[in-house]
């Protein structure tokens, strides 16, 4: 028996299939916000003549493609979390991206076995009170130092952003040290973990905490705010943040080619275009993310925060440890 969700997905896919299949078109399924992606898609169509039929889905992208099955019109999937894109590969709904451009532009750890390809990076870093903390650099491990007791703020440990960070910590340090680390972070917390990344900047401004973890693009968005968030930005100082024996933890927006892509050549063309200098600048500047193309040295995020050296852990290894990291978060009562 087919559920309502599957029927709805099949009905929607039928609408796409009813559109004449143009040789110069590509169908994109994405969880990315339209306002952030549309400038790149419009530029792609203008420069290549290939029309993009974009389907924006907040949730349920994988479920929809599985429901559509072999008749799915999806050519490209674009997601904004390493766990999501890795899960799509594990679900068997992707195929490898074969492209010399991809091989040349994207470092190997950001395109595991070419099953998916990183388009932009966002770093998860530490920020501190500009007025109350003097240091300029820190390791993720140092967040467990008791000197931060009652001064540390963070959103929920089970949130995908923190889950990915803790999974990376787990790969670096093993389960025993990771459990102790999570206990120490929880003991240092100034309040119950929760809220959003911008909320931790607000709490630094108010004096509730002195140190917090945040995604870099939120810093950029607050820097341009016309409301109280500009004050939150002015109250914080980003620190150079790395693992003790590694680089900065990054998460990604990434693309994969759908297993049954009817327009595979144009799918590759779209991914290659999005790795080009023009698209990388548009994409990165639209959301204060870091370009993956090393030739794009000037972007809004780099101008605001400086360049980031990503940790060399393969993101596929991080994705594999996400469940184990989530289990540890529950075990230590991190979000309680």
Residue-wise pLDDT for 234-250, tens only, equals 999 999 999 998 899 99
Rounded to whole angstroms, the Cα distance separating 97 from 116 reads 7
In this structure, are 128 and 240 located in the same domain?
yes
Which among 187, 273, 147 has a CA at the least distance from the CA of 281? 273
Residue 310 domain-assigned (yes or no): no
pTM: 0.81
Which among 10, 27, 21, 41 has a CA at the least distance from the CA of 75? 27
Domain range for 137? 123-248+318-331
Residue 260 domain-assigned (yes or no): yes
Residue 267 domain-assigned (yes or no): yes
In this structure, are 195 and 278 located in the same domain?
no
Which among 107, 163, 92, 139 has a CA at the least distance from the CA of 318? 163
Give the CATH number for residue 18: 3.40.190.10
276-to-105, 272, 283, 291, 294 alpha-carbon distances in Å: 9, 7, 10, 10, 10
- Mean pLDDT across the chain: 90
From start to end of the chain, where are the E strands? 25-30, 51-56, 76-79, 94-95, 117-129, 137-139, 152-153, 211-215, 236-238, 240-242, 250-258, 290-291
Residue 213 domain-assigned (yes or no): yes
Which among 276, 227, 306, 215 has a CA at the least distance from the CA of 43? 276
Rounded to whole angstroms, the Cα distance separating 93 from 111 reads 17
pLDDT at 1: 43
Residues at the binding site for Fe cation are: 217-218
pLDDT at 23: 53
Give the other-Cβ count within 10 Å of 6's Cβ: 16
Decide if pLDDT at 5 tops 60.
Answer: no
In this structure, are 173 and 283 located in the same domain?
no
Residue 336 domain-assigned (yes or no): no
Rounded to whole angstroms, the Cα distance separating 319 from 315 reads 6
Decide if pLDDT at 22 tops 70.
Answer: no
In this structure, are 211 and 327 located in the same domain?
yes
In this structure, are 255 and 204 located in the same domain?
no
Residue 62 domain-assigned (yes or no): yes
Q: Where is pLDDT greater, at 248 or 298?
A: 248
Q: Copy the structure tokens of residue 184.
A: 């120490």
Residues at the binding site are: 217-218
pLDDT at 80: 86
In this structure, are 58 and 87 located in the same domain?
yes
Decide if pLDDT at 35 tops 90.
Answer: no
Dihedral pair phi/psi, residue 21, rounded to 5° = -75, 100
In this structure, are 159 and 64 located in the same domain?
no
Phi-psi region of 58 (alpha: psi -120 to 50; beta: other; left: phi over 0): alpha
Mean pLDDT of 57-71: 90
Mean pLDDT of 247-260: 94
In this structure, are 175 and 323 located in the same domain?
yes
Residue 312 domain-assigned (yes or no): no
Rounded to whole angstroms, the Cα distance separating 52 from 42 reads 8
In this structure, are 111 and 143 located in the same domain?
no
When divided into structural domains, the chain yields a total of 2
Residue 313 domain-assigned (yes or no): no
Query: DSSP string of 219-279?
Result: HHHHHT-SSTHHHHHHHEEE-EEE-TTS-B-EEEEEEEEETT-TTHHHHHHHHHHHTSHHH
CA 83 vs. chain centroid, Å, equals 9
Give the other-Cβ count within 10 Å of 83's Cβ: 20
Which residues, in sequence order, are bridge partners of residue 291? 120
Which residues, in sequence order, are bridge partners of residue 242? 139
User: Does residue 124 contact residue 238 with C-beta atoms inside 8 Å?
Assistant: no
In this structure, are 77 and 194 located in the same domain?
no
In this structure, are 244 and 167 located in the same domain?
yes
In this structure, are 260 and 327 located in the same domain?
no
Decide if pLDDT at 130 tops 60.
Answer: yes
Decide if pLDDT at 9 tops 50.
Answer: no
Q: Where is pLDDT greater, at 13 or 51?
A: 51
């Amino acid at each position: 028996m087919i559920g309502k969700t599957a029927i709805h997905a099949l009905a929607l896919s039928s609408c796409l299939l009813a559109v004449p299949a143009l040789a110069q078109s590509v169908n994109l399924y994405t969880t990315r916000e339209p306002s952030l992606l549309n400038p790149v898609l419009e530029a792609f169509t203008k420069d290549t003549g290939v029309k993009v039929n974009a389907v924006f889905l907040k949730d349920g992208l994988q479920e929809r493609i599985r429901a559509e099955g072999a008749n799915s019109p999806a050519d490209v999937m674009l997601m904004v979390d390493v766990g999501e894109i890795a899960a799509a590969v594990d679900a068997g709904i992707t195929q490898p991206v074969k492209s010399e451009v991809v091989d040349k532009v994207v470092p190997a750890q950001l395109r595991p076995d070419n099953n998916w390809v990183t388009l932009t990076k966002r770093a998860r870093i530490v920020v501190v009170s500009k007025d109350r903390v003097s240091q300029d650099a820190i390791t993720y491990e140092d967040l467990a130092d008791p000197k931060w007791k009652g001064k540390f703020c963070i959103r929920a440990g089970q949130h995908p952003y923190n889950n990915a960070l803790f999974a990376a910590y787990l790969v670096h340090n093993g389960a025993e040290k990771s459990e102790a680390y999570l206990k120490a972070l929880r003991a240092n917390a100034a309040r119950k973990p929760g809220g959003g990344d911008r909320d931790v900047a607000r709490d630094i401004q108010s004096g509730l905490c002195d140190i917090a973890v945040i995604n870099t693009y939120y810093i950029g968005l607050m820097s341009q705010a016309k409301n109280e968030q500009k004050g939150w930005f002015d109250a914080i100082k980003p620190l150079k943040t790395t693992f003790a024996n590694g680089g900065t933890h990054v998460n990604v927006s990434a693309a994969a080619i759908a297993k049954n892509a009817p327009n595979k050549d144009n799918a590759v063309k779209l991914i290659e275009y999005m790795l080009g200098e023009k698209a990388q600048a548009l994409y990165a500047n639209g959301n204060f993310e870091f370009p993956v193309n090393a030739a794009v040295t000037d972007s809004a995020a780099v101008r605001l925060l400086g360049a980031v050296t990503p940790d060399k852990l393969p993101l596929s290894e991080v994705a594999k440890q996400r469940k184990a990291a989530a289990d540890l978060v529950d075990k230590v009562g991190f979000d309680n």
